[in-house]
Amino acid sequence: MHNNKFLELNANENSLGMSDSAKQAVTESLSAGFRYPDNPRAALINKIATMHNVAENQVSLGNGSTENMRATIQMLQHKAFKEGKEFQMVIPVPTFDCAEMYADSIGALVVKIPLTAENYDLDLQNLQKAADEFDGISLLYLCNPNNPT
């Protein structure tokens, strides 16, 4: 059971709960819940792309961020395999660890670059260096803001 007396700042959740307008939207959509959401999904992608002035194929919807992270890691590892290359994911440490856990689970190399000692910032120079010095495909994984810092 969720305790509403505490704010959970580490979970990227809205500790205040769902807004009334969101509850209303969910309730109003229940009557169409037995249908595939293809048309509403396409409309949402179009709206997001328009709002951000990007092409629709640059918008990826997922059930939270981890679904998109998994798909990206798997796609890049597969691409590297097809090209006869190695694949690595370069990450700051500490960071939100779902991508690292997934990369580990499929055998992808994970290179960990510590945050800067003076103010716990991303060490962008060493993150980039780790990618540049690798003879293969690199994915630089950056969270903004960097959870948990």
> Does 82 fall in a domain?
yes
Cβ-count burial of 89 within 10 angstroms (0-12 exposed, 13-18 middle, 19+ buried)?
buried
Domain count of the fold of the chain: 2
**The domain containing residue 95 runs over which residues?**
65-140
pLDDT of residue 113: 98
Q: Please write down the HEC assignment for all residues of the chain.
A: CCCCCCCCCCCCCCCCCCCHHHHHHHHHHHHHCCCCCHHHHHHHHHHHHHHHCCCHHHCCCCCCHHHHHHHHHHHHHHHHHHCCCEEEEEEEECCCCHHHHHHHHCCCEEEEEECCCCCCCCCHHHHHHHHHCCCEEEEECCCCCCCCC
Q: List the CATH number of the domain containing 91.
A: 3.40.50
- Out of 9, 35, 58, a domain closes at 58
> Does 147 fall in a domain?
no
> Does 10 fall in a domain?
no
> Does 148 fall in a domain?
no
Give the pairing of strands 86-93 and 109-114.
parallel
Confirm if 113 and 130 have CB atoms less than 8 A apart.
yes
pLDDT of residue 145: 83
Q: Residues of the chain whose pLDDT is less than 50?
A: 1
Model pTM score: 0.77
pLDDT of residue 4: 57
Same domain, 53 and 88: no
> Does 84 fall in a domain?
yes
pLDDT of residue 17: 84
> Does 35 fall in a domain?
yes
pLDDT of residue 141: 96
pLDDT digits 0-9 by tens, 62-101: 888 889 999 999 999 999 999 999 999 999 999 988 999 9
